[in-house]
Amino acid sequence: MKENPANAIKDTMWKFLMDKGQKSNIPALKEYVYDLIQMTTQKTAGQRKIKDHIKWDELDMTMMSIVIEATCLVLSGDLDLIEKKGEE
């Protein structure tokens, strides 16, 4: 497994990219994933205004939010704990 290259950087500006430098938000990650699923399965593809449908204009922001929350999950160390629990 690769090591986090940011851990070797001693500059405090990059502390947020180091291991344990973030706090995970699993409920937010799940919500963004569910939003993405809804966007890809709604019949209007977000083109018509229908209550509870998500516009496709929000796709980029939703995908970026998933990437950010997944990165926080890894950097927080919480994913390591989940992996260990799954191996038991």
Domain hosting 64: range is: 22-87
pLDDT of res. 23: 92
Question: What is the C-alpha to C-alpha distance for residues 9 and 58, in angstroms, rounded to an integer?
Answer: 35
Q: Note whether residue 31 is domain-resident.
A: yes
Q: Note whether residue 16 is domain-resident.
A: no
pLDDT in tens for each of the 88 residues of the chain?
Answer: 688 887 777 666 677 778 888 899 999 999 999 999 998 888 765 566 777 788 888 999 999 999 999 999 999 999 999 998 888 7
Report the chain's C-alpha Rg in angstroms.
17
Angle between helices 78-87 and 59-76 (to 10 degrees): 70
pTM metric for this prediction = 0.77
Q: Note whether residue 50 is domain-resident.
A: yes
Q: Note whether residue 5 is domain-resident.
A: no
Counting the structural domains of the chain, the total is 1
